[in-house]
Structure 1
Amino acid sequence: MFHLQAHDLVFLLPMALVGMLAMGAVPVAAKALKISCRCCGVIIGLMMGVLVLEVLPMLI
């Protein structure tokens, strides 16, 4: 179980933004598909951020 604190948002919010920008750059024709890609990017970015925050104490 992970323990998120307020200062972890400093790391999680940019990771979500990077995921949104990366997946939003995928060229698609439909607007709904573009929004879905951005939402998936946010979720993937947050999951990667939580993974890094949980693994980082083990590396130190």
Structure 2
Amino acid sequence: MLHLTSHDLVFLIPMALVGMIAFGGIPFTARALRISCRAAGAIFGALLAVALLEALPLLI
């Protein structure tokens, strides 16, 4: 079960931004492909942050 609170946004939002920047750095000539790649990066970054936030209590 997913237990996210408001202070988890401190970690979730920067991870989404990092994913968006990392995937947005891939050079494409088509604007639509570049935007969709940035969106996929933001989603991937947010999912990675959620996975890390859920796994952290298991590691401690």
TM-score (norm 2): 0.98
1:21 maps to 21
TM-score by length of 1: 0.98
- Give the aligned residue type for 2:21: L
Cα drift, residue 16 of structure 1: 0.2
Q: How many corresponding residue pairs?
A: 60
Structural RMSD (CA):
0.3
3-state SS in 2 of match to 1:3: coil
Percentage of identical aligned residues: 60
* Structure 2 counterparts to residues 36-55 of structure 1, below 5 A: 36-55=36-55
Unpaired stretches in structure 1, ≥5 consecutive residues = none
